[in-house]
Chain A
Amino acid sequence: MIRSFATRILHALITLFAVSWLCFALQQAAPGDYFTTLSLEPGLSARTLNAIREQSDPHASLVHRYVAWCAAMLHGDMGQSLAYHMSVYALLAPRILNTLLLSLAGLAGAWLAGLLLAAIPGRSAAVVHALSALLWSIPDPVLAFLLLLAAMRLHAMAPLTLDASSPFTSFAVAGTFTRALALPALAMTLGYLPLVLRHAQSGFLAARIAPAVEAAEVHGLPPHTVWFRYIFPEAANPLISLFGLGLGSLLSASLFVEVLFGWPGLGPLLLNAILQRDISVVAAGVLISALVLISGNLIADLLLWLHDPRLREASA
């Protein structure tokens, strides 16, 4: 078991290197760079531009720059942002926290609501099914827009904009923070909910007719015992895999919600960085996203392994 996890972590590292290299190479392959974009700025003279360009060592080769970047990365230095003139770490750290908060809140909401709604039995289940189909058929950006419009109409939850440099640091700002979080988190929840709901519904349906669950009912166990100790474990395996996938795609799922609601997370920053060819920010962002994806899968594997005793023997 330990060995198989070690192998997985080794694979993860290889993937991370490949992803970062790919990201570097693609940035290089596209015509122009950060300074091309900068030269469109009317207030900047060609001389100043050249001076700035010389500062950033433009003659080094792609491989050379990549190796230097990797070496720095291994020392914990993610490089300097060209556009913001600050270290990438200082730029990203608060935003990563914001993004994680938003997407975990969204994911938690979707899973909580999904599992609860999926447990509704009988005729009401058909209503839930139809509503989830409706929700699923609306494209996520449209859904978010509708939500935004509704909130503004009601004045109750007018979206707040947060300063990027002030993440959740003290309890004094907690109230504002929570209010600002509510709307984008709800948008994420609604976007992800139908997926969870569908899987949970069909999982529970199959689990309820499993022989072990039937036996629990024949033995007359109370309904909550049957649900928590027999039906949930029976239905859990595919749901755990889905949960891992959801964890892995946290960042990409929250990207457009952040842009739309002005949430100071990674999304808007990465979008700007791509447009401005701010290469070290983009590389760090992609790397973080890959890291999240890989940890999501690892967590799912670990949960599966903990949940199913038969897997523990099979992974010999």
Chain B
Amino acid sequence: MQPLLSVQDLSLDYSDSSQSSASVLKNVNFVIQKGETVGLLGPSGSGKTSLLRCILGMPAPAARIRCAAMRFEDRDLLALPSRVRRTLRHRRMGFIFQDPVSHLSPYRRVRSQLRDMLPSAASNTDLLDALHDIGFDQPMRIAAAYPHQLSGGEAQRVAIAQALAALPSLLLADEPSSALDSVTQRRILDLLLQLRAEQQIAMLIVSHDPALLSAIANRILVLRAGSLVDYEPLPQRRIARMPAPAAPSSPLLEVRGLNFSYTQHRLWPRAPRSTPVLKGISLSIEPGQCLAIIGASGSGKSTLARSIAGLERRFTGDILFKGEYLGPSRPRAVRAAIQLILQDTVGALNPRLTVADILAEPLRIHPPRSTSPDAPGSIDTDIRALLNAVSLPSAYLTRRPAQLSGGERQRVSIARALILKPSLLLLDEALTGLDHDLQESILALVDRLRQERRLACIHFTHDLARVLRSADRVAVLHHGSAVESLPAGAFLREARHPASLQLLRAMLPDPVAS
């Protein structure tokens, strides 16, 4: 049988005017059969995204491609005019992006953006069905929403619905579920499996998560430094659990009765529609502690993180930092002491600055009261040390965000948050885009800072497996309420609330623990 997609001797390099040509892919060969699911595993920066773009026929402008043959549905892709390749993308291939929120247009409702992808004969019911199939209980609400009103997980599900809308024969997915909570992740995986069975959709799924790929893929390809290598399961490794911090001191941060709701205003005076997002959240954290706030997508995690960071001011309730009430405008020292790392890596970094400028910017905004004043060298040393700590070579200092992969961008934003030596670090799904080894090394870095500098941190995440090992306490957020809060060690045994149990049940087998 003729394979659905076959790629022979694909090589790709970027010829940049400033740098010498960098080779991204070297003689890549693979085939995908009809209805087959292939996983593509690789560390960040290994060329996974570039490979997908070659198959789509949309390589980056500076890329040079050499390829012996590339066939899809018995057609020679290399010989097709761009108009035909566009139609193929529209009707025969689906694509799912890693970063869902910024890949939806902020100006149009979900309804009309999804309709663009559906066949023109599709009815309104078809549209709502497409949303329901992807796991939305209230498709009407989602259809009428604008992308900024969705949570990261909801936006990703909309993006998946878009990719599946035209019933493609090949689905390409770039880290499709890294932004989803484990419950939704399971549902999406089940849906993908069902589609594979019913409609013979073949899939090429890119991920850094071997557990996810082995759960869904028929076989796994591994991309390492641009070449395909054999897949072998990860070696067993385990990080020693942090000793609990010494006798509790006064809390670093206290949140008391935080409420938040979105209000949609209309042109004509109708009663504004109010949607509660957070309901009476209270929490406290001491220096050196690590708290994990877990919850399904749309449970209010990001809003809580933004409120604590001071980005969101429309809440009611009190936030105290080192015993001081924080008003709407915060002292500079407090702003420097609370640092937030976001999930969206494209939006978090200024595309016009180099990595060096990005890392130096916080120091310019909050000049350090250093012991050695006017030492320009020390800033540079700090930056290089931090870059090294997040495993990026110092050659990256002159690059701009567009020249980095998703995982590399996230490491830069982690370094940027740490450069001010904050006392509280908020990680809003900050580790989800990173591959396994990097997650471990960044958690180790945070653990070291917790010991050395009594850094406190709060993880806002859906990744129960990861945080259970590094957090002291776990709180479960469900529809905007904190429904359960337990010591991390006792969580597995004592969690009672249905939402917590659901998160536990849906937890993928951890590749390290198992």
Contacts and interface: CB of A to CB of B under 8 A. Distances in A.
Interface string A66-104: 000000000000000000000000000000000000000
Contact of A218 (B58, B108, B146, B269): B58
Interface stretch (B88-96, B277-285, B367-375): B88-96
A183 B483 CA distance: 73
Contacts of B162: 219
B99 A211 contact: yes
Contacts of A211: 97, 99, 102-103, 346
B265 A313 contact: yes
A233 B112 CA distance: 13
A222 B91 CA distance: 11
Contact size range, A: 20 to 34
Interface stretch (A134-142, A151-159, A302-310): A302-310
A216, A234, A307: residue with the most chain B Cβ atoms closer than 10 Å: A216
B89 A220 contact: yes
A305 B162 CA distance: 27
Contact of A234 (B105, B148, B263, B346): B105
Contacts of A307: 107
Nearest to B92: A220
Given A218-B56, A218-B95, A313 B102 contact: no
A315 interface: yes
A80 to B, nearest CB: 42
Contact of A220 (B87, B267, B346): B87
B138 interface: no
Interface string B259-283: 0001111110100000000000000
A229 interface: yes
Nearest to B85: A220
Contacts of A218: 56, 58, 89, 95, 97
B106 to A, nearest CB: 6
B90 A219 contact: yes
A217 B106 CA distance: 16
Interface string A265-306: 000000000000000000000000000000000000000011
Interface in B63-108: 85-91, 93, 95, 97, 99, 102-108
B129 interface: no
Contacts of B148: 309-310, 313
A211 B101 CA distance: 9
A316 B89 contact: no
Interface in A209-228: 211-222, 225
Contacts of B85: 220
Contacts of B263: 313, 316
Given A218-B89, A221-B116, A233-B105, A316 B95 contact: no
Contacts of A308: 106-107
A212 B265 contact: no
A261 interface: no
A316 B146 CA distance: 17
A233 B113 CA distance: 13
Given A219-B117, A310-B148, A234 B91 contact: no
B314 interface: yes
A204 interface: no
A212, A221, A234: residue with the most chain B Cβ atoms closer than 10 Å: A212
B58 A217 contact: yes
Nearest to A311: B265
Contacts of B314: 316
A312 B112 CA distance: 19
23 contacts: A1-B267, A2-B269, A211-B97, A211-B103, A212-B104, A213-B105, A218-B56, A218-B97, A219-B90, A220-B93, A221-B116, A221-B117, A229-B105, A229-B112, A233-B107, A233-B108, A305-B267, A307-B107, A310-B146, A313-B264, A313-B265, A316-B263, A316-B265
Interface of B: 56, 58, 85-91, 93, 95, 97, 99, 102-108, 112, 116-117, 146, 148, 159, 162-163, 262-267, 269, 314, 346
Interface of A: 1-2, 211-222, 225, 229-230, 233-234, 236, 305-310, 312-313, 315-316
